[in-house]
Amino acid sequence: GEDVEQSLFLSVREGDSSVINCTYTDSSSTYLYWYKQEPGAGLQLLTYIFSNMDMKQDQRLTVLLNKKDKHLSLRIADTQTGDSAIYFCAETYSGNTPLVFGKGTRLSVIA
């Protein structure tokens, strides 16, 4: 079955770059997403990448996709205290199939 793995915790200093990693098992995954969850809130879509892309950049966010290794990463440049949250990787292979989520990585930013 489908499985998405993430490390549970990451701690960085303010101003440094953060890299959150994700691996998935389903080779047919076509759509890969990163969501952010602040305490007690719902999930906010941050960015996404399609499987025919290797990289996508959106302001401070850079997504890298290695299809061969089924590895996805989210890089946050110049990390701020407001970036402290849980980050979820999610994947699916079609528009009629619900997203499968990883367990989330809790990012702590130290001032």
Q: Which residues bind another protein (CB under 8 A)?
A: 8, 31, 33, 35, 40-45, 48, 88, 92, 94-104
Say if CB 24 and CB 4 are below 8 A apart: yes
Q: Which is nearer to another protein, 39 or 111 (CB)?
A: 39
Q: Which is nearer to another protein, 42 or 82 (CB)?
A: 42
CB of 111 to another protein, least distance (A): 25
Q: Which is nearer to another protein, 31 or 71 (CB)?
A: 31
CB of 1 to another protein, least distance (A): 9
